[in-house]
């Protein structure tokens, strides 16, 4: 049993519906998963939902529904969005599933037996309205709490804590000696700065059931439920445990619950997450894993946050981009392409409807779409769709670009890979059409051999583009393959070498890939 490349996303809170930020992260992870598959690796891609907590419990109550039934309904909406995004996930984890509860409780029991938890009294200020503890940082300059917190009372409460006092030094050393553990590098520096300049406070892992009962009971004290991170982060182990991963089952004594042969998944190769949950993944999670006797994930890959029109994306102000509305209007691949092309993995980004429409028109409709459509239409018109003899005119130039793109894909430089594809392949091939002017060659029978060469070079470039683009825009890539009359999917990067198109092969029917949207852009987000 060989270990699979195991990639995960953050699991989304089950309140509200998915927005651009959630969709972006999932598409990024999906592109990486598809790149790895296309490189011939066995991959396991996991995404899912984080369902416990006060907000979900309250929302279910307000809707007059049983909490589990409420979650089951909403989870279907999120699953449908995952399917709409064409995510190639191999499993979908929900923290309200019994398989998750079992693993969380197993871990808590193990760490409790190892003496890693203690019970202590927490004394603080508590907002009745928000049902949360406030800290000194929440005070306004005049010492009062913002009226949005409602009545704030002093509260004393017992809770369980995870002892972190002895953990700081080894973690600093680990991060310093493992440069690819946290990427991009500036996020790694942020974590190192945090660890070096702060005392690591013990992590509160429980809430009394009197205050929260929609959670996983603490196995050694059922007057408490597990609070947040010992629940959410464990999802990354739940699924390996369920599939009988040997490393996880040996460390945690779990039994598989999924039929089929066991899968080797742990350690995760990449956790894709947003910048706001970096500390939990790069500080608490490694410490939790070490305490469990499990190896650490190989990489935490941290993306930035999207804004819309320069403002925070927010349900309360209505400043949202609804991925489903965009996909319904412009097509899935336009959405997938835009988000990955516009925002590299790292900095924050800004969505504007005009920016989206501009890239759609220039890069998809007039760039890629026009290239494929005119290349294949000319082959159809001038050669009845039959591929002419092989010509290597663009071969060496393109092989260099292909290598650069594949190197970037291997390094998860997704935006940079798209820049190369458009800058050096799409634009180059469109320029080649203009320079060689096949429509003029077609009028002169003495130039038939030259026309053959040009048509071969263009069709072969389209084939290679389909292969390179498949991880990003799989449906479009498959349509290009279909229009080329090629069987199967362009899902093997090894096929991105010059000369794959065979002379004498008859292509299929050309059809526009990206219909031109000539009307002024309508607002895309309307909900």
> Which residues contact ligand MSP (rule: CB under 6 A)?
10-13, 21-22, 24-25, 50, 232-233, 235, 273-274, 276-277, 305-306, 313
Torsion of CA 160, 285, 289, 94, to 10 degrees: 80
Q: How far is the CB of 238 from ligand MSP (least distance, A)?
A: 11
Name the H helices within 51-143. 54-62, 67-84, 98-113
Cβ nearer to ligand MSP, comparing 10 with 288: 10
Neighbours of 26 (CB within 10 A): 23
Q: State which residue, 307 or 391, has the beta carbon closest to ligand MSP.
A: 307
Name the DSSP class of 149: G
- The residue number whose beta carbon is nearest to ligand MSP equals 274
Considering the complex, what minimum distance in angstroms separates the CB of residue 210 from ligand MSP?
A: 24
Closer to ligand MSP by Cβ: residue 232 or 248: 232
DSSP-derived 3-state class of residue 154? strand
In the bound state with ligand MSP, the residue whose beta carbon lies nearer, of 345 and 477, is 345
Kindly tell me which of 11 and 212 has the beta carbon lying closer to ligand MSP: 11
Compare residues 15 and 163 and give the one whose CB is closer to ligand MSP: 15
Whichever of 235 and 420 has its CB closer to ligand MSP, that residue is 235
Q: In this structure, are residues 318 and 291 in contact, taking their beta carbons and an 8 Å threshold?
A: no
Strand partners, 50: 13
Residues contacting residue 133 through CB under 8 Å, at least 6 positions apart: 122, 124, 125, 126, 127, 155
44, 268 Cβ separation under 8 angstroms:
no
Shortest separation between residue 268's beta carbon and ligand MSP, angstroms:
11
Token pair of 412 as six digits: 């998860």
Task: Report, in Å, the least distance between residue 333 CB and ligand MSP.
Answer: 20
C-alpha 217/C-alpha 209 separation (Å) is 8
As measured in angstroms, the least distance from the Cβ of 294 to ligand MSP is 16
Q: Residue 111 Cβ, how far from ligand MSP at the closest point, in Å?
A: 18
Taking the least distance from each CB to ligand MSP, the nearer of 50 and 452 is 50
Minimum distance, C-beta of residue 65 to ligand MSP, in the bound complex (Å): 21
Nearest to 279 by CA among 161, 187, 346: 187
For residue 297, report the phi and psi dihedrals to the nearest 5 degrees: -60, 155
Q: Which helix (H) or strand (E) holds 447?
A: none
Name the minimum Å distance from CB 513 to ligand MSP: 28
How many beta carbons lie within 10 A of that of residue 150, not counting itself?
A: 12
Residue whose CB is less far from ligand MSP, 312 or 516: 312
Cβ 78 to ligand MSP shortest distance, Å: 10
Q: Tokens for 325?
A: 């509305």
The one-character DSSP state at 506 is: B
Q: How far apart are CA 278 and CA 280, in angstroms?
A: 5
């Amino acid at each position: 049993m060989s270990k699979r490349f195991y990639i995960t996303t953050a699991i989304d809170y089950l309140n509200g519906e998915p927005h651009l930020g959630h969709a972006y992260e999932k598409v990024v992870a999906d592109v990486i998963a598809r790149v790895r598959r296309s490189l011939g690796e066995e991959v396991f891609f996991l995404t899912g939902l984080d369902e416990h907590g006060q907000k979900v419990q309250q929302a279910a109550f307000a809707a007059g529904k049983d909490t589990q039934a409420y979650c089951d309904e909403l989870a279907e909406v999120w699953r449908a969005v995952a399917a709409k995004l064409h995510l190639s996930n191999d499993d979908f984890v929900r923290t309200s599933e019994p398989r998750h509860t079992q693993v969380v409780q197993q871990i808590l029991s193990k760490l409790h037996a190892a003496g890693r938890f203690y019970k202590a009294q927490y004394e603080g200020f508590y907002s009745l309205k928000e049902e949360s503890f406030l800290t000194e940082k929440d005070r306004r300059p005049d010492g009062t709490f913002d009226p949005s917190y409602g009545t704030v009372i002093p509260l004393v409460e017992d809770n369980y804590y995870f002892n972190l006092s002895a953990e700081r030094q080894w973690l600093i050393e680990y991060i310093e000696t493992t440069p690819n553990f946290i990427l991009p590098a500036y996020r790694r520096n942020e974590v190192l700065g945090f660890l070096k300049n702060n005392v690591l406070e013990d992590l509160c892992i429980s809430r009394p059931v009197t205050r929260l009962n929609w959670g996983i009971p603490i196995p050694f004290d059922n007057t408490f439920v597990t609070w947040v991170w010992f629940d959410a982060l464990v999802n990354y182990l739940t699924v390996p445990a369920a599939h009988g991963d040997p490393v996880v089952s040996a460390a945690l004594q779990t039994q598989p619950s999924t039929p089929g042969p066991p899968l080797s998944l742990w350690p995760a190769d990449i956790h894709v997450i947003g910048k706001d949950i970096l500390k939990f993944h790069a500080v608490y999670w490694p410490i939790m894993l070490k305490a469990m006797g499990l190896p650490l994930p190989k990489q935490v890959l941290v993306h930035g946050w999207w804004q819309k029109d320069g403002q925070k994306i927010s349900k309360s102000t209505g400043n949202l981009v609804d991925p489903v509305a965009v996909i319904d209007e412009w097509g899935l691949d336009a959405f997938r392409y835009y988000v990955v092309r516009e925002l590299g993995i790292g900095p924050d980004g800004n969505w504007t409807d005009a920016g989206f429409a501009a890239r759609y028109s220039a890069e998809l409709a007039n760039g890629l779409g026009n290239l494929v459509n005119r290349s294949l239409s000319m082959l159809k018109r001038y050669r009845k769709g039959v591929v002419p003899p092989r010509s290597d005119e663009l071969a060496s130039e393109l092989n260099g670009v292909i290598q650069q793109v594949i190197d970037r894909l291997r390094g998860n430089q997704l935006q940079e890979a798209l820049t190369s594809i458009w800058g050096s392949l799409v634009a180059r091939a469109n320029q080649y059409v203009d320079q060689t002017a096949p429509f003029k060659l077609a009028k002169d029978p003495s130039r038939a051999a030259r026309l053959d060469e040009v048509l071969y070079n263009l069709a072969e470039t389209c084939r290679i583009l389909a292969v390179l683009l498949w991880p990003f825009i799989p449906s479009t890539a498959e349509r290009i393959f279909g229009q080329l009359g090629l069987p199967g999917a362009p899902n093997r990067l090894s096929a991105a070498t010059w000369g794959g198109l065979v002379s004498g092969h008859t292509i299929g029917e050309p059809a526009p890939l990206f219909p031109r949207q000539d009307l002024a852009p309508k607002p895309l987000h309307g909900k």
